[in-house]
Amino acid sequence: MKKTLALILAAVMALSLVACAKTPANGGTEAKGSVYYLNFKPEADQAWQALAKTYTEQTGVEVKVVTAASGQYDTMLTSELDKSAPPTMFQVGNQGAVNSYGDFCYPLDNTDVMKEMTTQDFNLKNANGETVSIGYCYEAYGIIVNKALLKQAGYELSDITNFESLKKVADDIHSRAAELGFDAFSSAGLEGSSSWRFSGHLANMPLFYEFRDDKVTAQPAAIKGTYLDAFKNVWDLYTTDSATTGAALTTATGDASEAEFGQGKAVFFQNGSWEYANLVTSDDKGFKMNPEDLAMIPIYCGVEGEEKAGLCCGTENCWAVNKNAKEEDIQATLDFMKWVVTSDEGTTMLAEQFGPCPFKNAKTPANVFFADANAYTAAGNYIVTWAFNWTPAVDDWRAGVVDALTQYTVNGGSWDNVKTAFVDGWATQYAKENG
């Protein structure tokens, strides 16, 4: 397990480096100052709220957690940082974020929380070599499979090894949906709480293969869209072999897609390791899946040699501290961060919500999706790293891609519009960010 995780960490970091900017008096535990964490994962909001409450009860230090809506993190962070009581802790998870928020970032070298780390591989540094954002976990995403339904339809995981076989299985299940009582894919919603799965995570597939071919090692000013036909292959499959198609996709939410899968209405659900806790513990949502029925397979898209693909592994989960906050709030934030990665309550939450974490006291997650990621790596499959971490002006670029996908999928528009949003949109957003 440790050897496999090391392989994943090494491969993931081949596509990431950079970062943000001051160092604290590190160590006090007095109940002074306060913490304001601007969280960027709506699906983890409940867990963070509970953890913040526990910390306040134990220490007397106020911890406020505010969660941005999907796709609105940059907008909200920019706004909040300008306020008189800005976030003291926030996300800086990629090069674009470093470029945008580096002037707010507090150097974290030699802080207590950083001394708890077992690897620096996920950390981001600024041009001066200072660590300004620390990666607190790695994640994996792909196509989540309900193995019980797949078997009921007459198939096993081993029947799916590439896009051709995935399409064959999905087409057959969709054609027999009325008879089986379930469809192939849960809804590929284009509403904001769902669309990031495709403008970000599915879009990673053509980016990854293009960057691999072209040996890209830094954020490019322009892209070619070499593998956009592969993107189209999967998108067409998602939006055809599903009970939700056409105009209904514009209002289909992330929660709806999750519920369709959780309630056994679909065999396949594109999402990530962060969904595990929601799927297996969500009685309040009307479903609670058996972990033994779950698996994650690669996003196959028709690229040559993809039989040796693994899951998409990487991270955007990196904490930064606001150097412009009050000194006592900076210290309170650093103390809170250390508690999160050392306490039983904090390490349990991180393991359940986020998976493997690079800290000395980290717990081993029960999440079966990480076992799948490790199994692919151990078998010699290549990791699909997170090329989308280099997306310029990420929210704006993704919004353009979603608009084009909507026109193509709902209004009968041309796929050429998607290519334009993808390729020309990248160059436009890069120019805006870099002058």
What integer pLDDT is reported at residue 218 of this predicted model?
83
Cα 404 to Cα 265, 355, 420, 430: the distances in Å are: 28, 34, 9, 19
Please write the tens of the pLDDT for every residue from 354-388: 888 989 999 988 899 999 998 998 899 999 989 99
Output the six-digit token pair for 340: 């999160």
Global pTM reads 0.78
Separation of alpha carbons 143 and 45, rounded Å: 23
Architecture of domain 16-138+315-360: 3-Layer(aba) Sandwich (3.40)
Q: What is the CA radius of gyration of the chain?
A: 21
Domain boundaries, the chain: 16-138+315-360, 140-313+381-434
Q: What is the helix (H) or strand (E) element at residue 385, kind and residue range?
A: strand 382-385
Strands 382-385 and 309-314: parallel
Architecture of domain 140-313+381-434: 3-Layer(aba) Sandwich (3.40)
Chain-centroid distance of CA 163 in Å reads 23
pLDDT tier for residue 27 given thresholds of 50, 70 and 90: very low
Among the residue ranges 124-128, 176-180, 288-292, 402-406, the one predicted with the least confidence is 124-128
pLDDT tier for residue 77 given thresholds of 50, 70 and 90: very high
Please write the tens of the pLDDT for every residue from 129-147: 899 999 999 889 999 999 9
